[in-house]
Amino acid sequence: MGKKFKKSKGFSGNDKVYDISCGKCGHKVFTYLKLGKGGILRCYLSRILEPPELEKLQYDPSITKPGDLPNLECPDCGEVLGVPIKRNDGRLAFRMRQGYFHRKKKS
């Protein structure tokens, strides 16, 4: 993982790296950098660390609105784990469907 993430001002320092996997089949879908406390309600594109297919979405200039993004699906079983949204501040993210994924702290 050669990607470095610059922290914004105001975060609590509780940043953790999680492996997000499918709740149905257990397949690892992506690795996510979680900042702050609380659960994973949404996953911002800029914090997805791997796989490269999902990581590259943040740099794609053709993606400007949620309709340009596909649903976040498990590559093995096709279960929909999240749907694309755009926050009020303009950041694109996936709103995660609670109960459809598992998170495991990466060591």
Segment 27-75, tens digit of pLDDT: 999 999 999 888 999 999 999 999 999 999 999 999 999 999 999 999 9
Q: Tell me, what's the pLDDT at 19? A: 96
Q: Which residues contact 8 (CB under 8 A, 6 or more apart)?
A: none
Strand partners, 96: 82
Question: 57-89: b or e for each residue (b if 16 or more CB lie within 10 Å)?
Answer: beeeeebeeeeebeebebeeeebebbbbeeeee
Terminal C-alpha separation, the chain? 13
Q: Tell me, what's the pLDDT at 77? A: 93
Q: Tell me, what's the pLDDT at 67? A: 92
pTM of the model: 0.82
Given pLDDT bands bounded at 50, 70 and 90, which one contains residue 9?
low
Average pLDDT on 16-31 reads 95
**Domains identified in the chain and CATH numbers:** 16-105 (2.170.150)
Q: How many CB atoms lie within 10 A of CB 101?
A: 21
